[in-house]
Amino acid sequence: MLQLICLPCVLLIRQTLLKQKSKKPLLLLLRLLLLLLLLLLLPLPLPLPLPLPLPLPLPLPLPLPLPLPLPLPLPLPLPVLLLLIVLLPLLLLLPLPLPLPLPLLLLLLLLLLIVLLLLLLLLLLLLLLLLLLLLLLLLIRLLLLLLLLLLLLLLLLLLLLLLLLLLLLLLLLLLLLLLLVLVLLLLLLLLILLLLLLLLLLLLRY
């Protein structure tokens, strides 16, 4: 693993020294920085333990010693992880002349970056779904408000119609009353005329 990272570093250092008058020194320095960072993050191999002398034979068998726990890899600090996440897309976009395959750590970091991108996409989809749900709820509320307004308008129209009908009935009643009054007046006139006729007849007899 050390050879896979050291050899590209050496090649890039040699390329930088040979092309000092290149038009893109910042590009080479960026490549050097990224590869040196990966080299620093690589865990160093642990030294092999020295062989212990064989114990003397004892009359009673001793229990086997418990196996020592394996050393856990040190967690990477958060700024280094953030720096790697920022520099990995640049490394993918830049044409790096690496004749050897990518180291395992770089592949793992690429996989981590892909997983993070997928998580971001999922979060964006969830946000879009939430926005759509909110829009649907707003539309449903607007529709309900419109329905309520329509119902209120219909009720008002019905009330107006009822009022008009009542007014018409009142007018009809008034007309009937007027007709009755007219009929009564006519009857009175007829009675008066009859009385007058009777008086005339009486006068004529005497």
- pLDDT tens column, 64-103: 555 555 444 445 556 656 666 666 555 555 554 444 455 6
Q: Is residue 49 part of a domain?
A: no
Q: Is residue 200 part of a domain?
A: yes
Q: Is residue 45 part of a domain?
A: no
CA–CA dist 12, 24 (Å, integer): 13
CA–CA dist 40, 32 (Å, integer): 12
Q: Is residue 16 part of a domain?
A: no
Give the mean pLDDT of 99-125: 78
Q: Is residue 147 part of a domain?
A: yes
* Buried b / exposed e along 45-58 (16+ C-beta atoms within 10 A): eeeeeeeeeeeeee
Q: Which residue has the higher pLDDT, 12 or 105?
A: 105
Q: Is residue 99 part of a domain?
A: no
Q: Is residue 180 part of a domain?
A: yes
Q: Is residue 198 part of a domain?
A: yes
CA–CA dist 22, 27 (Å, integer): 10
- Number of domains, the chain: 1
Give the mean pLDDT of 116-135: 94
Flag whether the pTM goes above 0.95. Answer: no
Task: Give the domain extent around 197.
Answer: 125-206
